[in-house]
Chains A and B, each alone.
Chain A
Amino acid sequence: MWNKNRSLMLSSALVKVVYVLAAVCCVMAPFMVEYYDKAVIASGQPSVYVPLLITLYSAVPAAIIALVCLDILLRNIRKEKPFITQNVKLLRIISYCCFAEALVFVYFATLKVFVLVVVIACAFMGLILRVVKNVFEQAVALREENDFTI
């Protein structure tokens, strides 16, 4: 049956899958961008090969940092330590990464307006994570108060 441990395992496995996907995308990015660029040129628009490649590679550091933070966060939850100061810090970093991704994609959105959807999605995700971080911050304070109530 479905339980808490299986849910954690699934989340952890998904993070690992995204690690692999990120690595594959890093290697394959020039080919994928070239394939997309051919379609763009075929439709009579100017080439976006270099701007798109710059955008994608600029997005990698924040994505990797967010993934590592997610991995550590899941490890802490598995150790039954969800409400600790480290997790608040990790959530803050992940939210900053989302905002950083939004900023990175703003550059490409100046060339392709539909990329604004990605910008808005990243910024919204960052905002949600900030609120979750605030909730965790409050939970840590409550747990500490409970732990130090004799």
Chain B
Amino acid sequence: MPIIINLDVMMAKRKISSNELADRVGITPANLSVLKTGKAKAVRFSTLEKICEVLDCQPGDILEYDKTEN
């Protein structure tokens, strides 16, 4: 998938754990793990909005498009 999730980077910058992020966003740690490992097929706008709100960042800070990965 050419879409790369850089959630780990943002989480490290904000010094927030997976469990805390999952709790504050309102998703299960298992679903957050699916998102972090790039297994997710889609992300709801509401989830993205919450993640951006909690991590105080833009969607572009979390999502990246890589042409070479296909």
Contact residues of A with B, CB < 8 Å? 144-145, 148-150
Besides the known contacts A149-B44, A150-B34, 5 further A-B residue pairs in the complex with CB atoms under 8 A apart = A144-B41, A145-B42, A148-B34, A150-B31, A150-B35
A149 to B27, CA, bound (A): 11
A150 to B41, CA, bound (A): 8
Chain A facing B: main interface SS: mixed
- Whole-angstrom distance from the CB of B26 to the nearest CB of chain A? 11
Interface centre among A145, A148, A150, by most chain B C-beta atoms within 10 angstroms, is A150
Contact residues of B with A, CB < 8 Å? 27, 31-32, 34-35, 39-44, 47
Please give, as numbers and ranges, the residues of chain A lying within 8 Å of B41 by CB-CB distance. Answer: 144-145, 148-149
- Whole-angstrom distance from the CB of B40 to the nearest CB of chain A? 5
Please give, as numbers and ranges, the residues of chain A lying within 8 Å of B34 by CB-CB distance. Answer: 148, 150
A145 to B42, CA, bound (A): 7
- Whole-angstrom distance from the CB of B30 to the nearest CB of chain A? 10
Residue contacts A-B, CB under 8 angstroms, 23 given: A144-B41, A145-B41, A145-B42, A148-B34, A148-B39, A148-B40, A148-B41, A148-B42, A149-B40, A149-B41, A149-B42, A149-B43, A149-B44, A150-B27, A150-B31, A150-B32, A150-B34, A150-B35, A150-B40, A150-B42, A150-B43, A150-B44, A150-B47
